[in-house]
Amino acid sequence: QVSRLVELPYSSSDDDDDGSLLAGGTAEQDQGVWYPMPPKPSTFSHCVRYLAFLWNLLFLLLGLLVLAVGVWGLLAKASLPGGEHGVPLGSDPMLLFVLGGLVSSAVSLAGCLGAFCASPCLLRFFLGSVLAFGGLEVLGGLLLLLAQQQLRDALRDLLLLCLLRYQEDPDLQFLVDEVQRSLQCCGLGSYSDWESNPYFNCSAPGVQACGVPASCCQDPLENGSVPNAQCGFGVLGLGAAAAGAVVHMGGCEAALGVWLRGQAGAIATTAAALVLLEAVGALMALRVLGDVVAFRAWE
């Protein structure tokens, strides 16, 4: 593209200039014509572009790791062909890892390719996704503040579901055992809640009838080192005083609520750090997008 800045008046020398150009003259005769120069990104812009690529590459690798963990969990429990336990796919908690890994990997890949290939479409997709995630996080924070009673009810229903499906899902079993062991609690409201589980009910067949999981025991180790998986057998058939000498009596609902309130500062800090990471990635992508759009407009 060229544009004439000054219209030079015609004179007889113009003919001479034309002749000199035809005869192989230099560019001195083009002093009335302006050739625009393309915008050159600064050193800072180059650094931001490379940093944006590496930033999204790191999160792409993390997303692929989460995806791999989720797929491995599904395969291990036969939610996908090749597993051993046969847990339904729709109710498998590992499906959350798969979906989370897929979404984060796709968004990070768009950011990587957008910064590497200078693609406005991919950069806009990345920015839109990050803004959507940020909006969902803010909405979730508002729900935590405005609907605390409903969230407590949802947490209670989740704990009850974990208690009822304790023997059916290895992930829920691991989660319940970790909560009971670390918080030194047993059951939802008390240790007697395990009677609602069909495997621990006193009328159920098997050696676990009228018992509780070993994670409820005050001393789950035998002789101080060997795990005793039978320490909770028959506890539901004992009196409160005798059971209190073997297992923790308090329920996990109240203990978990106390723990969450104590971790409120750490949870808020983690959420703020996550939002900050997303904001940094969005700002870098926005700078790269601005440079790319400016160069495309010149073309």
Full pLDDT tens readout for the chain, 299 residues: 444 333 434 444 444 444 443 444 444 444 545 545 666 767 888 899 999 999 999 999 999 999 998 888 778 766 544 444 455 555 567 788 889 999 999 999 999 999 998 889 999 999 999 999 888 888 888 887 787 778 788 888 888 888 888 888 777 888 889 899 889 999 888 888 898 888 898 888 888 888 899 889 988 776 556 777 888 888 888 888 888 888 998 888 888 888 888 888 888 898 889 889 989 999 999 999 988 888 777 65
Give residues with Cβ within 8 angstroms of 294, minimum separation 6.
Answer: 39
Which residue, among 225, 208, 214, has the nearest Cα to 176 in the 3D structure? 214
Give the tokens for residue 283. 């700002």
Rounded Cα gap, residues 280 and 299, in angstroms: 29
Is CATH 3.60.40.10 correct for 118-297? no
Which residue, among 248, 209, 250, has the nearest Cα to 230 in the 3D structure? 209
Rounded Cα gap, residues 2 and 245, in angstroms: 92
